[in-house]
Structure 1
Amino acid sequence: MQVACIEFARNVLGLKEANSTEFDERTSDPIIMLIEGKDREKIGGTLRLGEYPTTVQPGTLCNKLYNSELIHERHRHRYEFNNDYREQFEKAGMVFSGTYKDQNLVEVVELKDHPFFIAAQYHPEFTSRPSKPNPLFKGLIDHIINDEK
């Protein structure tokens, strides 16, 4: 999700220097930043780690895939989407379909007019099993199979 947001900022919004502060601390457009209140010099133990609830917007692809307005997924990261850019992204067609309400953190993004584009901040691979794939993976495979018919 983080890299997808950087790409969107650069190629849709025209913010050619957009980046994550993980990759470029001095970027003029920090689309992805260290979790609020964390000191880059003392980042040990600052991961957002474990299961967190995600509130899903009704009518979105995420809502369709999970068939729920509240999901719980596992995280392991310390960088987040910079909400200062949220309005700009939304006006250009990005949908923020999942959020962690307690801290207003972006969890899932989609492209409004794309047949199947979804990216998540959490790790769907952590909950996938061969006989029970995470809804994001299952949805992608189902879309590919059904789109070819």
Structure 2
Amino acid sequence: MISINPYLNFMGNTEEAMNFYQSIFGVEFATFQRFNESPGFERMPKQDQEKIMHASLPMGKHNNLMATDTLESMGQTLTAGNNFYICVNTESEAETDKLFNGLTAGGKIEMPLNKTFWGAYCGMCRDKFGIQWMINFDLKQPVK
């Protein structure tokens, strides 16, 4: 396992929140991507296209504070308790499969494991205790 990172969900104010955190921690964004930078964005409501799909703020040597906007147009809702994921970055597809399969036992798959357009092998789930997980292997990372 490479790292475990908090992944925050906001209701349309991710940009404001992450800029606030950036001003406190004094680091530059590693990633700041809007929904209009993703495939199929033109099918999204105009008001959602400028919202934040993924922001990543480095926090030390191996960790990031990450965030996204929750979109009602995609059937997403935000309530206290579901506004974050624990994001586990793995070292292989096999490790990703093992962790994802373990965490989904008795839980619910929210996004099946698949190779994504952003270059990762990733899946999202809620375990049997209600904790939300994002298991991610960066397909572009160097092979060890």
TM-score (norm 1): 0.28
TM-score (norm 2): 0.29
* More RCO (CA 8 Å, sep 6+): 2
Structure that is richer in strand per residue: 2
